[in-house]
């Protein structure tokens, strides 16, 4: 899939890592992709109701990793639909393997750059919620420009989220949390549901991942940010 360059995507916020694909993950991709994976064509706008074969609340998780949060939310809210975008095949394989084992029908996955999918393939006001949990903090100062949470990206999300829809971010990197808060507080598109300039307590709707629990054992704090799209 190729697209013309945009200002938003001149700097990559991720690095593709090959990773080790297990036999179960590869088998899941081989057998379940046709039902739960989405192959996106150039200039194609995705019809999410058609993809999920129903009208329901639509949630997007960007960079779902091993899919712990995505799988948990889909299981707990079967009446909602969950779209996950990630670039790492082992994680996608893991999600599809769990989808098959647990007969989860309300998940679809895309293997692609989330910014390109949001920019070229998702319609305005097509999402009820967007989740961005523990994105790469690019902790070295010279790499901060690679961070995903920047004003142009937040404006793009605002276009794709429905009025009164939600944007939920979380990070365990304090300096990045402060940047996220600064960017979102400066946005004219979102309202902080916890109060101006405030982080949110972890909503019960956000599952704790193994990565997060390990960090807590090491004394790491987690910062949640919960914003609502303005009308």
State the CATH number of the domain containing residue 108. 3.40.50.150
Residue 1, pLDDT > 60, answer: no
Q: Identify whether 85 is part of a domain.
A: yes
- pLDDT band for 11, please (50, 70, 90 cuts): low
The answer for residues whose C-beta is within 8 angstroms of residue 56's C-beta and 6 or more apart is 49, 79, 80, 81, 106
**Which of the following is catalytic: 39, 42, 136, 224?**
136
Whether the model pTM is above 0.95 = no
Q: Identify whether 67 is part of a domain.
A: yes
Q: Which structural domain range is residue 184 located in? A: 46-229
Closest by CA position to 163, among listed 133, 126, 116, 131: 126
Which range is least confidently modeled, 9-13, 88-92, 199-203, 215-219?
9-13
Q: Identify whether 196 is part of a domain.
A: yes
Question: Is 136 one of the catalytic residues?
Answer: yes
Q: How far apart are CA 146 and CA 171, in angstroms?
A: 16
Q: Identify whether 120 is part of a domain.
A: yes
Host H or E run for residue 220: none
The answer for residues whose C-beta is within 8 angstroms of residue 198's C-beta and 6 or more apart is 192
- pLDDT band for 139, please (50, 70, 90 cuts): confident
For 156, phi and psi rounded to 5 degrees?
Answer: -60, -45
Q: Identify whether 1 is part of a domain.
A: no
Q: Identify whether 32 is part of a domain.
A: no
The token duo for 214 is: 């390990």
Q: How, if at all, do strands 107-111 and 127-133 pair?
A: unpaired
Q: Identify whether 222 is part of a domain.
A: yes
Q: How far apart are CA 83 and CA 130, in angstroms?
A: 10
pLDDT in tens, 78-130: 999 999 999 999 999 999 999 999 999 999 999 999 999 999 999 999 999 99
What's the pLDDT at 10?
54
Residue 8, pLDDT > 80, answer: no
The total number of structural domains that make up the chain: 1
Residue 218, pLDDT > 60, answer: yes
- pLDDT band for 213, please (50, 70, 90 cuts): confident
pLDDT in tens, 143-178: 588 799 999 999 999 999 999 999 999 999 999 999
Q: How far apart are CA 135 and CA 142, in angstroms?
A: 17
Q: Identify whether 99 is part of a domain.
A: yes
């Amino acid at each position: 899939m190729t697209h013309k360059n945009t200002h938003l995507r001149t700097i990559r916020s991720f690095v593709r890592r090959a990773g080790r694909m297990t036999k179960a993950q590869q088998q899941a991709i081989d057998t379940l992709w046709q039902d739960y994976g989405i192959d996106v064509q150039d200039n194609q706008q995705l019809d999410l109701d058609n993809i999920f074969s129903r009208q329901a609340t639509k949630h997007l998780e960007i960079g779902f990793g091993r899919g712990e949060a995505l799988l948990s939310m889909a299981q707990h809210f079967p009446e909602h639909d969950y779209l996950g975008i990630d670039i790492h095949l082992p994680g996608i394989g893991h999600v599809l393997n769990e989808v098959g084992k647990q007969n989860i029908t309300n998940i679809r996955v895309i293997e692609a750059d989330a910014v390109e999918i949001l920019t070229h393939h998702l319609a305005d006001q097509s999402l009820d919620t967007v989740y961005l949990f523990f994105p790469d903090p690019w902790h070295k100062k010279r790499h901060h420009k690679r961070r995903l949470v920047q004003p142009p990206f937040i404006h793009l999300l605002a276009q794709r989220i429905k009025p009164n829809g939600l944007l939920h971010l979380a990070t365990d990197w304090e300096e990045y949390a402060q940047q996220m808060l600064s960017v979102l507080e400066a946005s004219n598109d979102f309202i902080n549901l916890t109060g101006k300039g405030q982080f949110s307590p972890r909503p019960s709707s956000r599952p704790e991942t193994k990565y997060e629990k390990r960090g807590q054992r090491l004394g790491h704090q987690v910062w949640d940010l919960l914003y609502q799209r303005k009308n």
